[in-house]
Amino acid sequence: MSGFIKMSNTLRCSVCSNSKRRFKSLAALNQHIRAKHPDIPPVQRDTFYTTPEWIHVRYKVLLRDKGQCQCCGATAKTGSRLKVDHIKPRRFYPELALDMNNLQTLCTMCTRGKGNWNETNWCEKLDMWHLISLRERGLIN
Ligand SMILES: [Zn+2]
Ligand SMILES: [Zn+2]
């Protein structure tokens, strides 16, 4: 238990709980920890997305979803970047991190509309501008 959280690309020291200070890099945060909280171990980089287990499951999910965004149907062929997304965020449900039932293929636009706070499966709520742009690109009717 390190007691530190990484949110999007900002790092904060959760020991200094009322501090709004953000750290630009892991090195900067660890420097702060060494100086202020020498009894706490340094923060490890998140290596989950480079583990063989994740790479294997990710590939299986892409195959299952036929390489299509499960929200809008976009594919790599139509110029979309696809991500395998955790329906229930890994941060809150680490035990579901490699559970295929908790994984879905989404394009980056749909992922952006979702975020960690939203556990909606298959993106029920699409941004209007996104729908319009998909329609213009002929991806949906
Ligand atoms: Zn601190
Ligand atoms: Zn999509």
- Which ligand is nearest to the Cα of residue 80, counting in written order? 2
Q: What is the pTM of this model?
A: 0.56
Cα(37) to centroid(ligand 1), Å: 7
CA 127, 136, 131 angle in degrees (round to 5)? 15
- Which ligand is nearest to the Cα of residue 2, counting in written order? 1
Query: Which pLDDT tens digits describe the chain residue by residue (141 residues)?
Result: 344 444 444 678 877 866 678 888 888 888 998 999 888 888 777 788 889 999 999 999 999 999 999 988 999 888 888 999 988 888 788 899 999 999 999 998 888 766 554 555 444 444 444 555 555 555 554
- How buried is residue 83: exposed, middle or buried, by Cβ count under 10 Å (0-12/13-18/19+)? middle
In sequence order, what E strands does 16-68 have?
Answer: 22-23
Cα(77) to centroid(ligand 1), Å: 46
